[in-house]
Structure 1
């Protein structure tokens, strides 16, 4: 294996994977299940989580193996996969360690910024025999990214991106979501070392914010939540599509386009 190919087939933990075009794949990451399907690999998927819902008509025929956290180990064992695709944020380490006891290959992912999608697509395509489809996907991504970068620069903003309430939770600057916002020149406030910190509303918290973004997932925020919070805080609050903002893989293409919509909402030009 040459150096370039070796790099393409290395996952986030440095594990090197050989090409396996006949692999039996269980994917425990919803956004990557969608990517595998879009790369033409649905026929090799033998298991998915209940949260792997896209593309709906394709995944309906793929057996469910629990959730991203509540994984049914015995169901996976019976499916006899050669590869399980996991993610550092989505899946718990003890679960992955149990799977490694009987699954020959665990592919670990952790995209942390939009351009990490390029390696993700090449990794999936390279391991599972879809190099050409991955190359086409990467070309489409580069085009969308270039279009985003070509937009006139908007003013720098500080926005609080909320993913949960009771307790309220947000994202730290080292998350994929924060990196998406950074493509617009926006920053999220530093609330400590946790990747998804809890917080309480206060005047001090509100001061310095240009806007609050309420995500439609994992908590199902609605326009009603946004309207009520805006009245409470006295600053602009917007509802945003959580899949577009946080799903890497296939949805990242639409996500880059969606960033323009979010910018226009906040800037008042949409």
Structure 2
């Protein structure tokens, strides 16, 4: 069976009689997914941000961050498969790694339901289809439960992922599409002067009275910047609008974490 990744590269299921694959994952949420698919024993490398599940990843070698990987260390691990993500990893680095890693699997989920194809892609490549289908069933159950709750009041929210400079997310990101499931639309700055250049996916912004007027609330994510209640209190005093601290892993991690993420969305909607 030929399987296709996010950029159209064809992959094949591993041969059951071949030596065990050696996988390096440069995506924290994918590392967690691989472990939940029962493939932890085949993972030989991960980033320092791949922290879940803690008991499983502890024995897997760290190879740097998502963008500043140690090429030589990965080479010594002799991986057969590399798993990367378009948003989280740097293409020149991936191109370097592709020179000596035979199979590079590129991921790029943009909507919550893209997780179903992700589960099945990795499950079929690595011979874990039954576990992948179990995850698909769990996802569908949580998705159905989310659609059955009363819709939250439609809001425009400013989702903050960084400070100094302040940064947010665009409407074509996984985070924005997660929030859209409960009727929340992420704020983005209007294009300047009809500029045809596409807006960045993770734009920077400056606080202003005009911006504050356009939003209903601010969501401060716990990752990648570690926003805390201290930031929440200070910003709420500054702008005079509701500010909420949200679990960044639940809203930005795809893979198996997305199942819990859908439950988390239900909690957000009920508390709105």
CA–CA distance in 2 between the matches of 1:196 and 1:125?
Answer: 30
- With normalisation by structure 2, the TM-score equals 0.94
CA RMSD, Structure 1 to Structure 2 (Å): 1.0
| 1:201-242, Cα deviation, whole Å (9 max, x unpaired) | 000000121110000001100011111111111110000001
- Out of 21, 28, 45, the residue aligned to residue 23 of structure 1 is 21
- Residue 264 of structure 1 and its aligned partner are, at CA, apart by 2.8
Q: Would you say 1:72 and 2:78 are equivalent positions?
A: no
CA–CA distance in 2 between the matches of 1:251 and 1:61?
Answer: 21
- With normalisation by structure 1, the TM-score equals 0.94
| 1:84-111, Cα deviation, whole Å (9 max, x unpaired) | 0000011000000001111001000001
- Residue 113 of structure 1 and its aligned partner are, at CA, apart by 0.9
Q: Structure 2, unaligned stretches of length 5 or more?
A: 192-198
Q: Would you say 1:234 and 2:240 are equivalent positions?
A: yes
| 1:122-161, Cα deviation, whole Å (9 max, x unpaired) | 1110111100000000000000000001111222110000
Q: Identify which range, 170-179 or 12-21, moves more after superposition.
A: 12-21
Residue in structure 1 matched with residue 230 of structure 2 by the alignment: 224
Aligned length: 260
Other structure's SS at 2:161 match: strand
Residue in structure 2 matched with residue 215 of structure 1 by the alignment: 221
Residue in structure 2 matched with residue 106 of structure 1 by the alignment: 104
Other structure's SS at 1:164 match: coil
Assess if the C-alpha contact under 8 Å between 2:26 and 2:89 holds in 1.
yes
Q: Would you say 1:257 and 2:255 are equivalent positions?
A: no
Residue in structure 2 matched with residue 57 of structure 1 by the alignment: 55
- Residue 25 of structure 1 and its aligned partner are, at CA, apart by 0.5
TM alignment of 1:8-157, pairs within 5 A: 9-20=3-14, 22-157=20-155
Find runs of 4+ consecutive structure 1 residues off by over 6 angstroms: none
| 1:69-98, Cα deviation, whole Å (9 max, x unpaired) | 111111111111110000001100000000
Residue in structure 1 matched with residue 174 of structure 2 by the alignment: 176
Assess if the C-alpha contact under 8 Å between 2:169 and 2:188 holds in 1.
no
CA–CA distance in 2 between the matches of 1:216 and 1:153?
Answer: 25
- Residue 24 of structure 1 and its aligned partner are, at CA, apart by 1.0
- Out of 193, 205, 216, the residue aligned to residue 199 of structure 1 is 205
Q: Structure 1, unaligned stretches of length 5 or more?
A: none
